[in-house]
Amino acid sequence: MSSPTSTPGGRKRGRNTNPPTPSSEDPTSPPSQRRRGQDSSTGDLMPMPTSPATDMLSPAAPQDTSLFSSPRPSVQPNEVDMSSPLMYGTPSSRVEGTPRSGVRGTPARQRPDLGSVRKAPQVDLHSEPPSTDGAVASEPNAGQRLVIWGTDVNVGTCKEKFQRFLQRFTDPNSTEDENAGLDLNEPLYMQKLEEISVVGDPVLNVNCRHVQSFDAELYRQLICYPQEVIPTFDMAVNELFFERFPDSILEYQIQVRPYNALKTRNMRSLNPEDIDQLITISGMVIRTSQLIPEMQEGFFQCQVCAYSTRVEVDRGRIAEPAVCRNCNNTHSLALVHNRSVFSDKQMIKVQESPEDMPAGQTPHTTVVYAHNDLVDKVQPGDRVNITGIYRAVPMRVNPRQNNVKSVYKTHIDAIHFRKTDEKRLHGLDEEAEQKLFTEDRVQTLKELAAKPDVYERLSSALAPSIYEHEDIKKGILLQLFGGTRKDFSQTGRGNFRAEVNILLCGDPGTSKSQLLQYVYNLVPRGQYTSGKGSSAVGLTAYVMKDPETRQLVLQTGALVLSDNGICCIDEFDKMSDNTRSVLHEVMEQQTLSIAKAGIICQLNARTAVLAAANPVESQWNPKKTTIENIQLPHTLLSRFDLIFLMLDPQDEAYDRRLAHHLVSLYYQSEEQMEEEFLDMAVLKDYIAYARTYISPRLSEEASQALIEAYVDMRKIGSGRGMVSAYPRQLESLIRLAEAHAKVRFSEKVESIDVEEAKRLHREALKQSATDPRTGFVDISILTTGMSATARKRKEEVAQALKKLIQAKGKTPAMKYQQLLDDLRGQSETAITKELFDEALRALADEDYLTVTGKTVRLLA
């Protein structure tokens, strides 16, 4: 095989204005195409700016500084190998280009996405002076010494390699959902070809990463010379396909669509060196144009003798034939529009995704052209990965002007689109999540994780401007890491919630909002809403009718947008009940159901909720329970794993430390601060790394510890007739323990994790679920909205009242006030009016009595 690093040159050739007319050699060519082939030789093509000069001494090598490395046809006809892709796509070569007769009947389709430079000639090394820098021909096969002009691509070798790739490549560890249902131990792409033969959609998507792992050299050629290599791939795949499935009928020949090129990930890093190379960029579609019909072939008819001819469009230009070949009249040919051939084209504007952008800059945009069936594949707002060829076109030369603007227009010819947000509806978006970490970074993170105090370090690095509240910060830290995702769908329970929900309540001005803002800025998929302004629709999703297309569009709200992230909800208490009710589903089932305008669907909303609520009376009343203070339904409260109170502790030592913290905040320089705390970027990476790569499982010892902890928790209450733990609390404990193991980068949940989870859970409970009347922790405050003592008290009063009434004998009706006074006189403890009312209601429920106005009547 020959892969010369520099292609031979040194020969100045005249421009070939007369392409070979080989159609007669091929009997299978349809007559019309044959004719077109002949006609395409009419009219000289204008010198095109997109190709190197004819008099270049050597073809454009990859290291060429020139912008345009596309080769242009400049070889003699006798040097052109007819079976090569140099004729690829031109009408005259459509059939000849695919060498096997098995392809018969299946027309090739033009690939405008590969650009219009289709006539890449091959250069035979035999006829060239030997290359000076040692192009080694490893195989003395004459045919293999041919390379496509301007590249180091040998068609034969390339084809062979690709066929080998298709036949042999397996990816046993594949996680892509495209491969679902395929046997991972069989050659992957052969199965896909089989699929094509069944489905009949002649498109083969090829993951460049697979090509790279299979043959690095082939991958390099694909990246550097996509325009030449992809047609070769097409040829290879069609040969293989029709060999295997000779009877299958396709609309047109199979097209190879590579994706996932590693060349570029970010729009900002595109530079002149990427021109004419295969690149993959990610971004968001912001605008799509209407369909643009692009002429591929012009149909001309002579006005004198009605002789017709077809002229192919080359690089956006059409060479109008000046002389009719039939009657030799000049300027007699006119273009007939509706007999010309057009292809679809669409302009798409893509903008950098917000995550890729440096702060303080505006996002860049890039123009992408989609061709044929890629038109209308994406809609504005879609997040996409686009694979395509990067192009630069100079501003048009105006014959009337001497000087031109020295700026090029750049765009990408799309070959493959891959939506990144679409998959979020039915699976984890592994690819987008996979943030690439450099080895160094991973090393630093691991070193950090090995430190014994990593948990404390990280929690203190969280919102350093907010003073103390250590436990709250630890809780939020665990929330950022989250538990391990478990799937019980096979046993019918569906996904298990892995996200930790946290509620902060407390006095206004205790920097709750600041904490929320910080978290929102820290996580990549954070959303920040305020309970005051958001409606149920704004949180979930709504269906909108596009005024132009009359199409129904599903618009997602904050909760769906923060899937796999954290949704920060400020002023949780100010939210309307209606809005709050949608949270029930999200916070336990992690899904959102929508039934609106005929669309019924369930969206994933695996979001952790971080909410902040103010007490109803603006100041926290320590004499009341959490429920009474924030007036939230207990059904919702019990869905929070941790509920923290942020109160002003009011003790001297605390005040002193607080003052010191604040003063230093105001005079320390940036640098001093940096030293003291971990960088926010490190923290971000640490969390991202742990979330992606670490999924701890419970160890035997840890599960024992959890069981004990749960049993203990239930025991505490049982002595007093109260329940202090429910299964939900056990689940919370497991999540917290898992998150803590993640912080340590440990694949196993150990007893220290359980210890910390227990401690944190207890702290949060102590703060929020303490019965202000007894001072005991009572989980029923959160689960039923009333502490067990309060419930007991209610019952006692009701019984006392019943006794009182019974003692009064057979009086069918009593005065309300009289009864209250009697009860008060009898009871040792103070009876409030509310308590009395409740007791009456309880008795009424027993059908013992009824209350009408100010009269209490006994029932029989």
Partner 1 sequence: DLCTHIHTDNPHSETFTELCLLDVLAASQNNSNSGWETKAVEFFQDQLKERDTHTLVPSLNDVPLHYLKPNSLVKFRCLIQDMFDPEFYMGVYETVDPSTKTKMLRCGKYKDVTECGVDFNSRNTVTAERQTFYCVPIPGENPWVKEISSSCLTEARVVPSTSYAPSRQKRSYEEDDDMDTQPQKQREPHAGMKIPSEHHGNGDCKRQETEAPSSQTASASHLDLNFPLPGEKGPSCLVKVYEDWDRFKLNDTLEVYGILSVSPALSALADEKDASSSLLDPAESMETAEEQRVHSPPASLVPRLHMLHAKPLPHNNPLLPSAALEDNSAFLSSTLSEMASVREEILSYFTHVLLGDALAAEYLILHLISNVYSRRDVLPLGKFTLNLSGCPTVASYTERFYQIIQQLVPSSHYLAMSLQNMNQMRLVPKKDYVANRLVSGALQLARNTSLFLDETQLEQGQLDTTGVRNVTALGNLISWQKVDYDFNYHQMEFPCNINVLIASEGRSLLPSDCQIHLQPQVAPSHLEESLSSIHMHPQASSQLNKFRIYLSMARLLDYSISDEVTKSVEDDFVDMRKDDPQSISAEDLHRMLVVARLLSLSLGQTSLSRDSWLRAKHIEMLRRSRMEQHKCVNGNEP
Q: Answer for the pair 58, 67: CB distance below 8 angstroms, yes or no.
A: no
Rounded to the nearest 10 degrees, what angle do helices 226-244 and 188-199 cross at?
70
Least separation in angstroms between residue 525's CB and partner 1 is: 11
Interacting residues with partner 1 between 491 and 510 (CB under 8 A): 509-510
Instruction: Note whether 336 binds partner 1 by CB under 8 A.
Output: no
User: Out of 62, 99, 107, 464, which residue is the one contacting partner 1 (CB under 8 A)?
Assistant: 464
User: Out of 82, 286, 752, 804, which residue is the one contacting partner 1 (CB under 8 A)?
Assistant: 286
Interacting residues with partner 1 between 521 and 540 (CB under 8 A): 521, 533
Smaller CB separation from partner 1, 156 or 226: 226
Compute how many residues bind partner 1; rule: CB under 8 A.
91
Q: Answer for the pair 300, 318: CB distance below 8 angstroms, yes or no.
A: no
Question: Residue 461: helix, strand or coil by DSSP?
Answer: helix
Return d(Cα 160, Cα 168) in angstroms, integer: 12
Smaller CB separation from partner 1, 407 or 436: 407
User: Out of 1, 45, 262, 292, which residue is the one contacting partner 1 (CB under 8 A)?
Assistant: 292
User: Out of 411, 423, 596, 824, which residue is the one contacting partner 1 (CB under 8 A)?
Assistant: 411
Return d(Cα 641, Cα 587) in angstroms, integer: 10
Question: Residue 849: helix, strand or coil by DSSP?
Answer: strand
Smaller CB separation from partner 1, 252 or 654: 654
Smaller CB separation from partner 1, 104 or 287: 287
User: Out of 402, 438, 490, 817, which residue is the one contacting partner 1 (CB under 8 A)?
Assistant: 402
Return d(Cα 445, Cα 253) in angstroms, integer: 50
Interacting residues with partner 1 between 296 and 335 (CB under 8 A): 313, 316-318
Q: Which letter does DSSP use for residue 130 in this model?
A: P
Interacting residues with partner 1 between 254 and 273 (CB under 8 A): 271-272
Q: Which letter does DSSP use for residue 501 in this model?
A: P
Interacting residues with partner 1 between 680 and 699 (CB under 8 A): 680
CA distances from 569 to 169, 529, 561, 573 (A): 49, 5, 13, 10
Instruction: Note whether 670 binds partner 1 by CB under 8 A.
Output: yes
Smaller CB separation from partner 1, 173 or 361: 361
Instruction: Note whether 816 binds partner 1 by CB under 8 A.
Output: no
Smaller CB separation from partner 1, 18 or 66: 66
Instruction: Note whether 107 binds partner 1 by CB under 8 A.
Output: no
Instruction: Note whether 394 binds partner 1 by CB under 8 A.
Output: yes
Instruction: Note whether 423 binds partner 1 by CB under 8 A.
Output: no
Which residues does residue 389 pair with via DSSP β-bridges, in sequence order? 278, 413
Instruction: Note whether 544 binds partner 1 by CB under 8 A.
Output: no
Least separation in angstroms between residue 232's CB and partner 1 is: 25
Measuring CA to CA, which residue among 542, 400, 518 is closest to residue 461? 518
Residues 6+ apart with CB under 8 A from 624: 772
User: Out of 33, 56, 74, 241, which residue is the one contacting partner 1 (CB under 8 A)?
Assistant: 56
Smaller CB separation from partner 1, 502 or 819: 502
Which string of DSSP letters, residue by residue, matches 290-345?
--EEEEEEEEEEETTT--EEEEEEETTEE---SB-TTT--BT-EEE-GGGSEEEEE
Query: Counting Cβ atoms within 10 Å, is residue 738 exposed (0-12), middle (13-18) or buried (19+)?
Result: buried
Which H/E stretch holds residue 286?
Answer: strand 278-288
Pair of tokens at residue 32: 């019309």
User: Out of 339, 493, 584, 660, which residue is the one contacting partner 1 (CB under 8 A)?
Assistant: 660
CA distances from 356 to 167, 351, 352, 353, 362 (A): 38, 10, 7, 6, 11
Least separation in angstroms between residue 658's CB and partner 1 is: 6
Instruction: Note whether 647 binds partner 1 by CB under 8 A.
Output: no
Q: Which letter does DSSP use for residue 847 in this model?
A: T
Least separation in angstroms between residue 564's CB and partner 1 is: 16
Least separation in angstroms between residue 766's CB and partner 1 is: 22
Smaller CB separation from partner 1, 488 or 654: 654
User: Out of 319, 357, 448, 844, which residue is the one contacting partner 1 (CB under 8 A)?
Assistant: 357
Instruction: Note whether 844 binds partner 1 by CB under 8 A.
Output: no
Smaller CB separation from partner 1, 106 or 460: 460
Smaller CB separation from partner 1, 561 or 779: 561
**Sign of torsion, CA 186 190 192 197?**
negative
Instruction: Note whether 30 binds partner 1 by CB under 8 A.
Output: no
User: Out of 46, 53, 198, 813, which residue is the one contacting partner 1 (CB under 8 A)?
Assistant: 53
User: Out of 105, 200, 381, 427, which residue is the one contacting partner 1 (CB under 8 A)?
Assistant: 381
Smaller CB separation from partner 1, 208 or 560: 560
Instruction: Note whether 458 binds partner 1 by CB under 8 A.
Output: no
Instruction: Note whether 173 binds partner 1 by CB under 8 A.
Output: no
Query: Counting Cβ atoms within 10 Å, is residue 454 exposed (0-12), middle (13-18) or buried (19+)?
Result: middle
Question: Residue 623: helix, strand or coil by DSSP?
Answer: coil
3-class SS letters over 603-656: EECCCEEEEEECCCCCCCCCCCCHHHHHCCCHHHHCCCCEEEEECCCCCHHHHH
Q: Answer for the pair 329, 129: CB distance below 8 angstroms, yes or no.
A: no
Smaller CB separation from partner 1, 159 or 473: 473
Smaller CB separation from partner 1, 78 or 669: 669
